[in-house]
C-alpha cells in the first residue's frame, strides 16, 4: 500500500521490514512477487535494493485507486468536496501519505471551510473508518503557510481546485 499510494517514493527491504515489524525474508518474497509481475520496479544501489511502484504498469491506476479506497480516502474526499464550503486544496500528511496505516489520519485543508460541517464529518468518518482524523485548516490566503507545512514531510495532495487530479 505504501508504494502504490505514493509512486514517487522508493523504499528498501530492511527499512520496510523494520517499519512494519515483519521479517525481511517474508517481505522480500512479497516484494519480489510484485516486482516479477512488473507492479514494482527495483533499483540496486550498492548492496541495497530499492522498490518503487511502476506507474507504467497497465494496472497501476486501478491499484492506486484500490489503495485509496482501502484507506477510506475516497469517502473522505467526496465528503469534503460536498460539504465543507470553498475548498482550495486538501492534502494528507505524514503516515497515511506514506501509505502506513497508523490509525491517525492527518488531513490539511486550505480554503474557507465550514468548521461545523468539518467537525460533524470528522466524527462520522472516524466511526466509519475506525481511525482518528486530525485536521488542520488554513484559511484562503494562507497558501504560503500551507505549502510550508508540506515541505520536508510526507504529503499527498488529494485535491486542488480547478483540476481533476485526486
Q: Are 112 and 51 found together in one domain?
A: no
Backbone angles phi, psi at 68, to 5 degrees: -60, -40
Residues 36, 18 within the same domain: yes
Per-residue pLDDT tens over the stretch 128-162: 777 888 999 999 999 999 999 999 898 888 878 87
Q: Are 86 and 133 in the same domain?
A: yes
Q: Give the range of the structural domain holding residue 11, as residue numbers without chain letter.
A: 2-63
Q: Kindly state whether residues 52 and 100 are assigned to the same domain.
A: no
Most confident of 25-34, 80-89, 123-132: 25-34
Q: Same domain, yes or no, for 108 and 124?
A: yes
Query: Could you tell me the three cell numbers for 16?
Result: 520496510
Is a pLDDT exceeding 70 seen at residue 164? Answer: no
Residue-wise pLDDT for 66-89, tens only, equals 877 776 666 666 666 667 888 899
Question: Nearest-CA neighbor of 91 among 32, 134, 129, 51?
Answer: 134
Task: Mark whether 101 and 152 lie in a shared domain.
Answer: yes
Query: Which run of H or of E encompasses 30?
Result: helix 24-36
What is the pLDDT averaged over residues 92-103? Answer: 83
CATH code for position 35: 1.10.10.10
What is the pTM (predicted TM-score) of this model? 0.61
| Burial of 100: CB neighbours in 10 Å, binned 0-12, 13-18, 19+ | middle
Mean pLDDT across the chain: 84
Q: Same domain for 76 and 30?
A: no
pLDDT in tens, 36-50: 999 999 999 998 889
Given this model, what pLDDT does residue 42 score? 93
Q: CB neighbours (10 Å) of residue 123? A: 11
In Å, how far are 9, 62, 69, 136 from 83, measured between CA atoms?
Answer: 32, 27, 19, 16
Question: Are 90 and 142 in a shared domain?
Answer: yes
pLDDT of res. 20: 74
User: Is residue 103 located within the same domain as residue 54?
Assistant: no
Amino acid at each position: 500500500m505504501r508504494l502504490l499510494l505514493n509512486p514517487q517514493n522508493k523504499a528498501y527491504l530492511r527499512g520496510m521490514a523494520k517499519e512494519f515489524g515483519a521479517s525481511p525474508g517474508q517481505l522480500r518474497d512479497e516484494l519480489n512477487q510484485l516486482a516479477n509481475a512488473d507492479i514494482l520496479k527495483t533499483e540496486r544501489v550498492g548492496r541495497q535494493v530499492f522498490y518503487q511502484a511502476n506507474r507504467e504498469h497497465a494496472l497501476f491506476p486501478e491499484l492506486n485507486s484500490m489503495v485509496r479506497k482501502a484507506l477510506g480516502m475516497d469517502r473522505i474526499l467526496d465528503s469534503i468536496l460536498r460539504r465543507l464550503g470553498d475548498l482550495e486544496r486538501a492534502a494528507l500528511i505524514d503516515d497515511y501519505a506514506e501509505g502506513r496505516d497508523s490509525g491517525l489520519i492527518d488531513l490539511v485543508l486550505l480554503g474557507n471551510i465550514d468548521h461545523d460541517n468539518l467537525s460533524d464529518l470528522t466524527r462520522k468518518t472516524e466511526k466509519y473508518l475506525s481511525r482518528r482524523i486530525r485536521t488542520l485548516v488554513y484559511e484562503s490566503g494562507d497558501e504560503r503557510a500551507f505549502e510550508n507545512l508540506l515541505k520536508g514531510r510526507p504529503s499527498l495532495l488529494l485535491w486542488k481546485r480547478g483540476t481533476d487530479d485526486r
